Structure 1
Amino acid sequence: MTSPWLADSDVVAQTQIRSLVRESWERAQKVRLDPERLLSPLEFERDELGDYRQAHPLATVMPVIRKLLVQDADNDSGMLVAVGDAMGRLLWVEGDTGLKRRAEAMMFVEGADWSEDAAGTSAPGTALALNHGIQIRRDEHFNRLVHAWSCTAVPVHDPETRNIIGVIDITGDEQAVDRHTMPLMEATAHAVETELMLQRFRMRAEGISGLGSPSGTEHSPMIFFDSSLATLDVRSKPGTARGVVRVHKALRPTLHILGRDTALLSVAGKTLELTPRHAEIVTLLSRSRSGLSAERLTELLHGSPEGVATVRSEMVRLRRVIDNFQRGLSPTSKPYRLPEPLELDAQQVVALLNRGAHRAAFAAYRGAILPRSQAPGIQDIRDDVAGRLREAMLADASAELLLEYAQSEGALDDLEVWRTVLKLLPAKSPKRAGVVAQIERLESP
C-alpha cells in the first residue's frame, strides 16, 4: 500500500500530484503567496535568536538530534538538518557547509519563517500544518525557487500534553526523500520526546519546578511558552500573578518597503497598502522609537520645518486608515510615536548582513527602500541600507555572488564593484569577457 506521506520516486510517480500536496498549494494560494518569489521572513535578530533558542524546550535535546542526524550530515553529505519551533521558524540549521551557503539564497536560514503561511508547501511547514511527518520532493514545493530541493520533516510533541513544540527536517537532494529517511526521522522524534520526558522525571526527582527554577526559590526567572510558542518571559515570586511579559517580535506587525513605492503593512494575516506619503511617515516613525515632533517629522519629509499644518492633516488621515484596518496600531501624538514596535523588511537585510549571511541578505533585498521617495529622511535610510549591502558585498562576497550583485539595478553602473568582480574571477572564467566589456562601457567618456 502506498503511503500518501512519502515522496520516494520509486513509490510516487514523477507526474503524479499527491492530494496532500495539491491541498497545501491551495492553502498557499489562499494567503496570496507568490510562487515566483520567496522571502521567508527573518523573525529573529542574532541576539534574540540566541535567547529564544536557549529557552526553547528543544534546546536541551539538541545533542540527541545531532547524534542521530547531524553527525551523518557532514560537509560532504549534501544534507542539512533543521530544527524549528511550533510556528515553523527555523532555530538550528546544521550540516553540509557548502549546502548551507546555497540554502541562504532561498532564505533557508536560522531565524527564518518556513511555515506554510510564509513559505508555502515545504516539509517543515506542511508537517506542522498537518501534524504528521511528510516528504516533499523538488517541484512539489509551492515556490519555484525551492524546486531543486527535497525534504523530509516530522513534528515533535510535548511528551505529556502531546501539543506540537517543534519540527525536525532533513533537506537536500533526492536522498532526503529516500524511503528509509522517514522511519529515521520518526525514530529521532520519538527519541527526542522520550529524552524530554526523562529530563522532566529527573527535574522532579531533584525538586526542580518549571523549566529551570528550584521549587520554593523566590525571584527565580522562569521562561514559559504559550500555545503558539511565543516567548512569555515572566519574573515573579511564586504564587503571585505579577510579571513582565515580553511578546516576541515575530508577532509584531511588519512593514514591507523594499522595492515598493507604496508600503505594505501586514499583521495577523491581513495586509494594508499605504499611500507613498503614509509609507514615508510610518517608515520614519518605525525608525524612531522615542517618537518625532511634528516639526522634526516635517523636516524629514520636506527638508524644512515649514508645512507642519499639512503634516498634521496627513497624520489625521493616516490614523483613520490604520484604525479602520487594525485598532491599536495608529500613531500617538506629542510626539508622534508608534504604539508598538513595527518590523521593517529592510531590517531583515541588515540582520542577515550582521550575521554574515550575505547571499541571504542579497536575496532578501528586493530593491531600494521606497525608491521614488524624495523625502530626506527616507533617502538617508535608503542610502544606509544600500550602503551596508554594498560594503558587505565588496568585502566578503564570492565572485559568483558579487557578479549577481553587480548585475542588480543598484550596482549596474558601479565601476568599483565591476572591477572587484574582475579581480575575483578565475583567469580562465568565461564570464570575464562580459565583465571587461561592462567596465569599458563605464570607463568610456
Structure 2
Amino acid sequence: MADTKEPRVAAPETSAGRGAARPTSSRLRAVHELFVAGEVDETFLNSHAVRPVVAQSWKRSLAGGVDPDLDGARAAVAAIERLRETHPLAPALPVIRRLLVDDAMDSGVVVAVSAADGTLLWVEGDPNACRRAEAMNFVPGADWSERSAGTNAPGTALALDRELQIRGSEHFSRVVQPWSCTAAPVHDPTTGALLGAIDLTGGAQVASAQTLALVRATAVAVENHLALLRVSGVAAEPAARRPHLVVLGADRPRWVTTDRYGHLQATYLTGRHADILVLLSRHPEGLSADHLAVLLDEKDLDVVTVRAEMSRLRKVIGADTLESRPYRLSTAITSDIGEVFEALDAGDVESALARYPGPLLAQSVSPAIARLRTQLSTTLRDAVLAESRQGRTDLLRRWLELPEGRDDRDGWQALRDSAGLTAVARARAHGHLAGLDFELG
C-alpha cells in the first residue's frame, strides 16, 4: 500500500485580533507555495485557517491558468485616455480625489479606480508608493481582473461584486504579496450595473476595519454623486451592461447578462446555439435561414431545422434580442472573440493574448466556425511571433503554454533561438522540440 503523507506545515500561528484566527504571514506563504505547486487542495487551505473567500479565489486563479510568478498584471490596453474620457466613473473622480487621494499623497498609499472588467483607469496617491507599484504593473490600463492577475482586492471585488480586503500573502501572485489592499465595487445608481471598483493599496495598515469603512463610504458617495448629476441632467444616460457571449477556451459556451440589481447571470448554451450567436455577432447585417443553414452545415441542415433552432434560441436569450427576416441580433452585445479581434485590430497583441484562453468552439463542426477559428488562431499566432522577433519572448511563452502552442514547432524553435533566454529556459525549449520531433518521426 502506498505511503500517503499530508504535507507537513506546522499548526498555524495566529495574529491577534477579533474573529477567526488567521495564520501569520510566513505560515500563509508556506501554505500558498504548497497550493500553487498542486500539492494540497481547498480542504487543506480551510484546515490551515485560510479565509474561504481567499481559498476560493486561489482555486479560481489556479484553474484559470494565472501564473503566480508573473511580474504583475498584464500590460496596458490601447487608448486608455479615450477609455477614461468615456467611462461613467469619470464625472465622480473629483469626489474620489477629495475623499481618498488628497489624504494619500504622503501616507504611502495608492488609490486606484478600475473599470468593471478590471482595467485600471486611474492610479494616484503617494508618489513613492506609486513608483513602487509600477514595478508590478499597477498602472493605468493594466488588467487587474482576477482572471488576469489572480487574487487581489479590486479584481476579486469585481469577480464577487462585494467589498473585501486582501492581506499580504493572501495575494495569488508573489510579486503582490508585500502589499495589502481594500476595494469596494461601484454600481450605476439607476440600473445597478457594475461600473468598476475603488481600491486602496499600501502596507498592512490598509487592511483595517477603518479603511474598509472609508472605501465603502467613498463608493456610496460616488454612487450618490452620479445620481445627483443624473437628476440635474449633467450626467449621461444610465450605463447598461450589454449581453456578453463567451465562446473561447475549454469552458462551455455561455450567454452572460446583468439583472436589474447589477448581478451577473450566466446561461449555458448548446453547441448549435453558440454557433448561431457567433455567426450573428459577426454578421450584424443579418442572415437568412438559407444562408445560416449553409454556414452551420453545408450538407445536412435544412431551413426547417434552422427555424426550429432559432425558436428555441429565442427562449434562451429573450425574444426581444433576436429579429427575423433576416435573422439578426437586435441588441448590441460584446463577446470574448470580439474583444480579441478588436485588440488585434488596435495592434495590442498583449491584450489580445490575455483575452484568449483557447480556440473558438473547438467541438463545433460548422464550416463557418472552423474558418473563423482558424482565422483567429492564425492571426494571433503570427502577431505573437512578430512581437517575439522584437524581443517580446514573454508573449511567445504565453502562447506556447496554450493548447495550440504546445505542438507549435516554429514557436518553440523561435523561443529556443531567442536572445536573452536563461540556460534553463533554452534547455526546456530544446527538450520540447526534441519531443515534438520524436513524436513526428
Question: Does TM, scored on the shorter chain, surpass 0.5?
Answer: yes
Q: Does 2:344 align with 1:344?
A: no
Of the candidates 152, 165, 169, which is equivalent to residue 138 of structure 1?
A: 169
Counterpart CA distance in 2 for 1:320 and 1:38 is 34
Tell me the SS of whatever aligns to 2:371. helix
Counterpart CA distance in 2 for 1:350 and 1:70 is 39
Of the candidates 106, 113, 116, which is equivalent to residue 83 of structure 1?
A: 113
Q: Does 2:121 align with 1:92?
A: yes
Please state how far the C-alpha of 1:284 moved relative to its aligned partner: 0.5
**Which digits, 9 at most, give the CA deviation of each residue in 1:7-36, with x for residues without a partner?**
895899888979x9856469989xx96862
List gaps (5 residues or longer) in structure 2.
1-15, 32-44, 67-72, 124-129, 259-263
Q: Does 2:289 align with 1:297?
A: no
**Which digits, 9 at most, give the CA deviation of each residue in 1:245-296, with x for residues without a partner?**
xx54xx2222221124852223234333322222211110111122112232
Tell me the SS of whatever aligns to 1:380. helix
Aligned to 2:83: 49
Q: 1:369 to 1:49 in 2, by over 3 A?
A: same
Sequence identity (%): 22
Alignment of 1:273-284 (within 5 A): 273-284=268-279
Counterpart CA distance in 2 for 1:356 and 1:67 is 36
Q: Does 2:308 align with 1:316?
A: yes
Counterpart CA distance in 2 for 1:265 and 1:349 is 17
Say whether the 8 Å CA contact 2:341–2:376 is kept in structure 1: yes
Aligned to 1:259: 249
Q: 1:381 to 1:420 in 2, by over 3 A?
A: same
Aligned to 2:39: none
Aligned to 1:429: 423
TM-score (norm 2): 0.62
Please state how far the C-alpha of 1:369 moved relative to its aligned partner: 0.3
List gaps (5 residues or longer) in structure 1.
74-78, 201-208, 216-220, 225-230, 233-246
Say whether the 8 Å CA contact 2:253–2:268 is kept in structure 1: yes
**Which digits, 9 at most, give the CA deviation of each residue in 1:116-170, with x for residues without a partner?**
xx9997523676879767344434x6xx668964531244999xxxx99864324
Counterpart CA distance in 2 for 1:337 and 1:131 is 36
Aligned to 1:2: 17
Say whether the 8 Å CA contact 2:242–2:334 is kept in structure 1: yes
Tell me the SS of whatever aligns to 2:360. coil
**Which digits, 9 at most, give the CA deviation of each residue in 1:296-321, with x for residues without a partner?**
22332234xx666x244233234325
Alignment of 1:356-371 (within 5 A): 358-359=349-350, 361-371=352-362
Q: 1:404 to 1:442 in 2, by over 3 A?
A: farther
Please state how far the C-alpha of 1:418 moved relative to its aligned partner: 2.5
**Which digits, 9 at most, give the CA deviation of each residue in 1:70-91, with x for residues without a partner?**
8998xxxxx9753136x68544
Tell me the SS of whatever aligns to 2:407. coil
Tell me the SS of whatever aligns to 1:382. helix
TM-score (norm 1): 0.62
Counterpart CA distance in 1 for 2:369 and 2:337 is 12
Aligned to 2:364: 373
Q: 1:277 to 1:130 in 2, by over 3 A?
A: closer
Alignment of 1:170-319 (within 5 A): 170=200, 176-179=202-205, 182=208, 211=229, 222-224=234-236, 232=238, 247-248=239-240, 251-260=241-250, 263-268=253-258, 269-303=264-298, 310-319=302-311
Higher relative contact order (CA 8 A, sep 6+): 1
Counterpart CA distance in 1 for 2:422 and 2:27 is 43
Q: 1:380 to 1:356 in 2, by over 3 A?
A: same
